[in-house]
Amino acid sequence: MARTILERLRTPGAARARDALIYAAMLIVMITLSACGGGGGDIANEDPVAVNDTGLLYVGLTDAEGDFVTYAVDVDSILLERANGTTVETLPLSTRVDFAELTEVTEFLNIATVPAGNYVAASIRLDFSEAQVVVQNETGVITEAEVVDEAGNPLGDYEVRLQLANTDIIRIAPGIPAAFSLDFDLDASNEIDRSMSPPIVTVSPLLLAQAELEEDREHRVRGVLAEASIDESAFTLKVRPFKRRTGDFGRFTVNVDEETQYEVDGVGYTGAAGLEAVAALEENTPVVASGSISNRSMMADIVIAGSSVPWADDTVVKGVVTARSGDTLTIGGARVEFGDGRVDFGGSFEVLLGEATTVTAPGVDNADLNIDSISVGQRIVAFGEPSATDLVFDATAGRIVMQFSQFTAVVAQETPLAAELGLYNGRRPGAYDFSGTGSAPELDADPDFYEIDTGALLLNDVELGDLIRVRGLVTPFGSAPEDFTARTVIDIETSRRAGELKVVWPGDAPSTTPFIATSPTTIDVDISESEEWLRVRGIPRFITNPLEMLTIAATESGEGVYAVHVRGSGVVTAYRNFADLVDALNAELEAGNALQRINARVGYTGTTDVLVSPRASFVFVAPGDAE
């Protein structure tokens, strides 16, 4: 029988070491992003690298928005294979990773001790025996799922080998730093069967990466303070990613400006005053910074430091307010973060507020905040004590830190700005009960016409029907409209990478002739016998049956991140060049394998069936292996 949350709160235990994920991200990026190291030459003729040399990697770890609320698994082993056939075990300790936490942010890492050399493959072992996978349905209802392998058996250890094409060998050398984003593509790696109770998730891991940091996505770096420079408008962290309490994983310098919002030891600041507060902290004080990336340099929007960092000392409940009744908040999909670094999923929590509850938010004067400031849709961290009743957290004498919320939406009205909500803090609008948010019942927030206070923000490029991403704070409970106070509004460039395409042939009838034609720059897909879905990124509705034809096209440069996998083989092959991908797909078909599924990130304008794809995965089945 599963332990209650209260029992888990009281149970001591060593936190799993965080080193493993760092090495995992580092390794997988090296393997999948071949264009930044290896070339098309003969690897045997390259000069050898000194045994003790290392290379420097800046790694971003992320995932796309989807239907997973929690996806926590253990990474147990990373075995790296050099070009000369020798292997290196790079993973001394196992770690538990919740990849669903990264659907709205890229974790930015600085890793300085990557062994130099040429790498051709690696074996990665994931342990799903104690996996915690939580999904949401069309209406936002959250349910814990069971995970199985491709044969339908309970999933335990899962080992996958990543193999590079001969032209895509990576060479890691000293003095040549690189920056990458790694995407553990949950949508492409999992099939959800919601007809079962509990839902069944069939797992076949696929990993993608790109040789850039997405500049239209929030980035985050975590660690402890090394030093701060008021003159240079910057501070430097000793990076400790994924809530790690110890260790030194390199240095990362964060830039700030007069717009940067701070919360330091529970006090809000803006601009220079915030940097001065950070500079006054002792060395090794916990700090978390998030912001935008330009030319591999980070400009922080938000800085949280000292006791305001959720993983600094106490056990906290962290999540999104999905409903409020009086002084009781309902936190849907809550996470319990323990003081020793463990993280546990707690389902739906109730958080109790009181007149003694302190409320803070980055860049906001605490005197302007109280418990009425917390409304439905607000992302929070609750500091307090577990109640005698399970799944209740008492913050009546504690404090609530309001964090910036984020949603994707379609513009329904330009002035004043209103939008139809898509994914709101990673959850579908149906997960929220907006009752009581308005100054009168008829003025409660409407997810189909969510009213946004944009203040002095310039919205010259935002037009009716545009896809936007908005960050900020929810307006106080009982005061709508407006429903939300925006700090940033981004008009998403849908023509570049905002579409998500899925093409599936039924399990008992994968296609041996899935393509009408192929060329080095295009793949004409025969969709006459398939099921296909196309959706705009962040919008929880599929564009059903819009395609009479389908062409997947290469980017202008011909480069991207592509993966080919034959189910049951345990091998994923990565390609950086679209033409090489096409050759590999045709080779699989010539070998008698049948295509079962395509997952692709595509540009989508709504007016063409030719979809440019910078990232895609293709899953085959061998003869006789169809379901």
d(C-alpha 602, C-alpha 614), whole Å: 7
Q: Is the pLDDT of residue 587 over 80?
A: yes
DSSP 340: T
Half-sphere exposure of residue 401, counting CA atoms within 13 Å on the CB side?
Answer: 25
Q: Is the pLDDT of residue 423 over 60?
A: yes
Q: What is the pLDDT of residues 64-114, one digit of tens each?
A: 656 787 888 787 776 667 777 777 665 545 666 777 776 667 765 544 455
* 83, two tokens: 């070009």
> Which distant-in-sequence residues (6+ apart) come within 8 Å of 506 by Cβ?
531
Q: What pLDDT shows up at residue 342? A: 63
Between 624 and 22, where is the model more confident? 624
Class at the top of the CATH hierarchy for domain 219-308: mainly beta
Identify which of 518, 506, 519 has the alpha carbon closest to the alpha carbon of residue 595: 506
Q: How confident is the model at residue 626 (pLDDT cuts 50, 70, 90)?
A: low
**How confident is the model over 345-366, as a mean pLDDT?**
84
User: Model's pTM, two decimal places?
Assistant: 0.67
| Least confident piece of the model among 101-110, 374-383, 432-441 | 101-110
Q: What pLDDT shows up at residue 37? A: 37
**How confident is the model over 462-491, as a mean pLDDT?**
90
The distance in angstroms from the start CA to the end CA of the chain is 33
Residue type, 21: L
Q: How confident is the model at residue 202 (pLDDT cuts 50, 70, 90)?
A: confident
**How confident is the model over 534-542, as a mean pLDDT?**
60
Strand ranges for 259-312 from DSSP E = 261-264, 267-270, 286-294, 297-305
Could you tell me if 521 and 581 are in contact, meaning their C-beta atoms sit under 8 angstroms apart?
no
* 10, two tokens: 């009281």
Give the pairing of strands 559-566 and 615-621: parallel
Q: Is the pLDDT of residue 300 over 70?
A: yes
Residue whose tokens read 């899925």: 502
Between 23 and 352, where is the model more confident? 352
Q: What is the pLDDT of residues 210-249, one digit of tens each?
A: 545 666 677 888 889 999 999 999 999 988 776 667 666 6
CB neighbours of residue 45 within 10 Å: 6
Q: Is the pLDDT of residue 23 over 50?
A: no
Overall fold of domain 316-403: OB fold (Dihydrolipoamide Acetyltransferase, E2P) (2.40.50)
Express as a percent the part of the chain with pLDDT over 70.
70
Domain ranges of the chain: 16-210, 219-308, 316-403, 405-492, 495-621
Is-same-fold flag (219-308; 316-403)? yes
Q: What pLDDT shows up at residue 338? A: 66
Q: How confident is the model at residue 255 (pLDDT cuts 50, 70, 90)?
A: very high
